[in-house]
Every structure is written in C-alpha cells, then in structure tokens.
Structure 1
Amino acid sequence: SPLLQHLVETAGVLLAGRGGARLPQILKVPLSRTSVLFHLMRLPLPPAATPRVLGVDDFALYADVYGTLLVDAETRLPIELWEGRDAEQVTAWLRTHTGVGGVCRDGSLVYRQGITEGAPEAVQASDRFHLWQGLSKRVGDIAAAHRGCLPAAVPEPEATPSQAEPVGPSDQADTPARRHAKRLLEAVHAVTDTGRSINATARELGLNRRTVSTYARAATWQECVRTTRPRRPTSLDPYLHYLQQRW
C-alpha cells in the first residue's frame, strides 16, 4: 500500500539497510535489507539548493582519470559529481545556478578560469587543506634553499661541567659483603695457586663449586661483588613524592 511504502522509504532514509529492515519487522512487516535499499533507491533525489559558498575540488578515479566534486561548503553535503576537470563544466554549472557568493577551491588554474567565467562576482578563496599544503611546501622550499645558513644561526652549546666519574666498589665504604669477598678471594687463590682443581678446592673450603670457580677466575675481589643495577624509570615516577608523603 502507499502508506506501507512510505513507511519503508522513511525507515530506509533514516536507518539505511539493516536498521531499516529491523524496524518494519517490529511492525510485523518482514523485509530484507535488500528490499529496503531497493525502495530507498527508487526515491528521487531532493532538489539541491544553490549554495551560498561552493566547494570545488578534483579527485582521482583511477590512474590519470580525474573527476570533479561540488560541495556545499556550509552544510558539507555533496551537490554534483562528474568525470573530468574541465573549466567548461564548472562555467556551465555556475551559469545555471546563479547566486553563489564564494567559492573554495584548490590552486588549479582550470577551476579558476571556470569560476571566473561562470560567476565573475564570486569571491574565490583557497580551502583549508590546500592552504596548509601550499604553506608547508613553501616553508620546505625556503628551508631547503637556506640549509647552508642554518648551522651559523644555531648558538653554540654551553660548556657543561664534567661529570664526576662513577664511584666504583673500591671507592665505597667498607661493608661486610666487601670484607667477605676479600677473604673468599684470598682463600680460593691460596688453594688454587698450588695447582689443586676446582672440585678439590671446593671440598677443602666447604664452598659451592660455582662459587669457587667464580672467585678463581676473578683477578680482584671487586669482580665478585654484586653491583646494584640502575633503577629503570616507571610510569609511577611522577607521583613518587606524593606517595611517599601519604605513606
């Protein structure tokens, strides 16, 4: 019925295919999304009002084949779409749709000519994308042309005070672990220097074979002292002071 067809068309406009098919099912009208889209495509396109500000740009269909897109710059809705990017097409459209007060376009001379002939009183301006694109390209060209002058404009770095050398284990205060390492190194080397094996030295001193092997290979006791690894930064570091205060 006409009423049901209007309902399906409205559901298709508002909810598209899948959503438009679910709504009639609630009303006991089972339809597939394909049927809803079929009724949607039968609707005539609403008449496009002449925009106050028109956006003109090209796009690549494939390879070197381009098309032209006209957009209402205020509502951002597409108006016209055709293959090619000729000035005659733009001129003919503007002469048919009078009342355009401004046009946003790229830097193409073809569109500039077509807009000038079709709407001579319209104000032409570069759109935001092409404005930034042209500005960035110009800045890049200037920086490349004056690349040799840039090092002279950079101030020389200030001399930083020489950092103190890291304090090694030999410079640290005496600790029980250091004294223990000294005694073990002397005891192990006193036995191994006589030609005894690692296993015999371990049995005589009552130590683990790996410990004896470590001290026997070391030239100084500093090599046997465990060094504290530097602490890795974590995501909690910015809040450590606050957490310590709360603790």
Structure 2
Amino acid sequence: MKDVNELVQMVFSGLSPLVIEEVTDEGERIVVRARTPTEAAVCPVCGAPSGRVHGYQLRTVADVPVDGRRVVVRVRVRRLVCPTRGCCHTFREQVPGVLERYQRRTARLTRQVKAVVKELAGRAGARLLAVLAVGLSRHTALRTLLRIPLPTGRRPRVIGVDDFALRRRHRYATVVSDAETHERIDVLPDRTADTLEAWLRDHPDVEVVCRDASTTYAEAIRRALPDAVQVGDRWHVWHNLCEAALSEVKAHSTCWAAVLDAPIYDGPRAQTTLERWHQVHELLDKGVGLLECARRLQLALNTVKRYARADRPERMLRVPKYRASLVDPYREHLRKRRAEDPAVPVSHLFESSKRSRPSASRAA
C-alpha cells in the first residue's frame, strides 16, 4: 500500500496540497476524490485565521489527463466561520495553486489550455485539446485566450518589421516582433510610415530594426530613430539574391538561345515585348512619368516598372521552353497525315490518333 500511495503522489503531484483519499478508474475517465487539509484558513475579508467549520461543499474540477483519459477531481472543501466579532462572515476555503475561485479546472490544467489557445486560438485549439483528452468548446477557448493578460513593460532591443495582408490587394497591416525571442510584440493597423513612426517614438530603446526593402519603413525608422541600425532580414536577403541571379540569367537569354539553337525573337509575343520596351523607354527619355506611361500605353503600372528597369530589350525576352503534352506520342503520325493530305479535318486526325494509340504507345 505504501508503494501505491507513492505512485499516486507521483502521478498527481500537482494535487499535493490536497489530501487524496481515493482514485477510481471509470473507464473513459479517472476520478480522484480528495479533501482539503485540516489547517486553519484565512478569512478573505478581515484576514483572521479560522478553523471553525460551518459546513462542507463538494467541488468538481477537471485536471490534466492521465494515460490519454480525462481526470476529474472531486474535492470536499470546508465553509468556515470567521471568528472576528462584527465580521459575521462565512467563507469557503481556497487552495492557491490548485483550486481557483469560480474555476472548473485546476490551475495546472488552465496553464496548459492557455498555452494551446495562445498558439491556435478557437476551433484549432479546441480540436487539439480534444485529442489531448481535454473537452473544451471553441467559445471557451476564445474566452480563455482573451483572459490571458498582455505582456507589459517589454523593452525590445532588436525588432523585426514586416507587412502582411488582411485582405490581399485591399488591406494590409504591420507586424512588429522581437528578433531575439521571435515573439510577436504588436500589430499595427496599416503599413504607412506615420503609423510605424509613432510606434517607434513610443519605444526609444530599440537599437536595431530588421526590415524588408520597403522605403516606407526605412523613412519611418530614419525619422523616429535616426541612430537605430537598419538591417535586412534573412528571408528578404535570400529572396532578393535569387531574384537578382534570375534576372542576370534572363539577361543572357540570347547566349542560351545560341547554345540551344532556339531563336528568341520569333513569334508575336517576342515582337510585342520588343515594341513595348521601345515605347516605354521612348516616353521615359522624353521625361514622362511611370504612371503617365502606364496610362498612355494602357498597361499596368507594375508592368511599366518592369520594362523601365530593363536596360536593354534582351532582358525582357525569354528562350521558348517546350512543355510535354498528350500529343507527343502521336506527333509523327499527325505530321505524316498532314503532309499526305493538308486538307484533312482535325476530327479525322483525332479519330485516327485514337485508333493508332496502341501502336504509338508500344513505339514510345
């Protein structure tokens, strides 16, 4: 029996302030019956200790799961009478660290639930907690999340600033995170320079700001914290490097075309690209702005910017890339039929291709 008691104390160590009387296995759940110790409790009104029992009450709370099953703790708590004259107050004793007032979960289970909903919030948090044998609705998960106090007094030294889409192409926001702990600090309602500048002025302890290539953020940082060091974050550095390497490879499309014997100036798309490049650069040479160029040529502003960045038309051309298709196994047969009878209908070619499919497949 001593070994059993030690095992119970080890498994339910979080309930050590209580006196465990019985542990019952009910199949899908484990029921722990316990009581509070007989020591005097402190009156919450006047602070006087009391051991005079007025009555008993039974509290039922959930505890952390054991062996993939729910744990229910039924605790008999005392209602005590305050000994102070004139207080005339009875109170129910609390067990700090185990049972909190008006809660139906133990303190350690509440900590685990808060850790889950902090990462996954409502529906996702409820689904994960169900797998962990913790029954919780999405509404309760959201209420638990809202009860988590926000961190205060944080003075980050190195922060990361980046934008994200609340609704793509319509509404954007800015997320500010601690670059050292990778924790989110704040979310700004937009991605304008004035909003970020106001936030930085309220946090003068920032020494390093990690950002993307946005000139808007750069200007806000220079105005608010002129002594702060601005660095590029790792993802954007690698992304910009890849884009630059790809752009340089595309600039030598003529060289690749000569090696691959694939001319790049053939076709209406290549001719249109060359004409647009000349049109854009002719307008730019005359002093016309990018927005006016887009309006005159009836092109998107980003398209005009892409043509403007290319210093020569070859950078805009691409070597034609052949992609495999379902016609490949019948290509020789179709060419032969076209050579024999140029006026043959397409429907006849389709029917003959279906009839020749087994032989074509074997030939392939």
- Structure 2 distance, partners of 1:118, 1:67, is 19
**How big is the shift at 1:37?**
4.1
User: SS state of the match for residue 130, structure 1?
Assistant: helix
Query: Is 1:100 the equivalent of 2:199?
Result: no
1:146-167 CA distances to partner (integer Å, 9 max, x unpaired)? 222357799xxxxxxxxxxxxx
- What does residue 119 of structure 1 align with? 225
In 2, Cα distance between equivalents of 1:12 and 1:58: 30
Are 2:172 and 1:66 aligned? yes
What corresponds to 1:43 in structure 2? 148
Most deviating of 55-64 and 139-148: 139-148
- Contact 2:200 / 2:224 at 8 angstroms: preserved in 1? yes
Distance 1:101 1:107 in 2: 19
Q: Residue in 2 aligned with 1:133?
A: 239
How do 1:1-247 residues align onto structure 2 when only pairs under 5 Å count?
A: 3-4=100-101, 5=103, 7=107, 9-16=110-117, 18=126, 34-35=139-140, 37-47=142-152, 49-62=154-167, 63-150=169-256
Measured after TM superposition, the shift of residue 43 of structure 1 is: 2.9
* Equivalent-residue separation in structure 2 for 1:120 and 1:78 (angstroms): 24
Specify which structure has the higher proportion of helix.
1
- Work out the CA distance in 1 between the residues paired with 2:193 and 2:239: 23
List runs of 5+ in structure 1 lacking aligned partners.
155-247
Deviation of the 1:105 alpha carbon: 0.5
**SS at the partner of 2:159?**
strand
Identify if the C-alpha distance between structure 1 residues 153 and 51 changes in structure 2 by more than 3 Å, giving closer, same or farther: farther
TM-score, scaled to structure 2? 0.36
Letter in 1 for 2:227: E
Q: For residues 39 and 60 of structure 1, what CA distance do their matches in structure 2 show?
A: 27
TM-score (norm: length of structure 1)? 0.51
1:39 is paired with a residue whose SS is helix
> Structure 2: which 5+ residue stretches go unaligned?
1-93, 118-124, 261-364
Whole-angstrom CA distance in 2 between matches of 1:147 and 1:22: 55
Deviations 1:209-231 (A, max 9, x none): xxxxxxxxxxxxxxxxxxxxxxx
Query: What RMSD, in angstroms, separates the aligned Cα atoms of the two structures?
Result: 3.2
Tell me which residue corresponds to 1:212: none
Residue 96 (structure 1) shift: 0.6
Distance 1:61 1:97, change over 3 A: same
* Larger relative contact order, structure 1 or 2 (CA cutoff 8 Å, min sep 6): 1
- Offset of residue 130 of structure 1: 1.0
- Whose radius of gyration is greater, 1 or 2? 1
Percent identical residues: 39
Aligned length: 150
Distance in 1 between residues matched to 2:253 and 2:133, nearest whole Å: 67
Q: Deviations over 1:109-157 (max 9, x none)?
A: 0000001111111111111111111111111222222222357799xxx
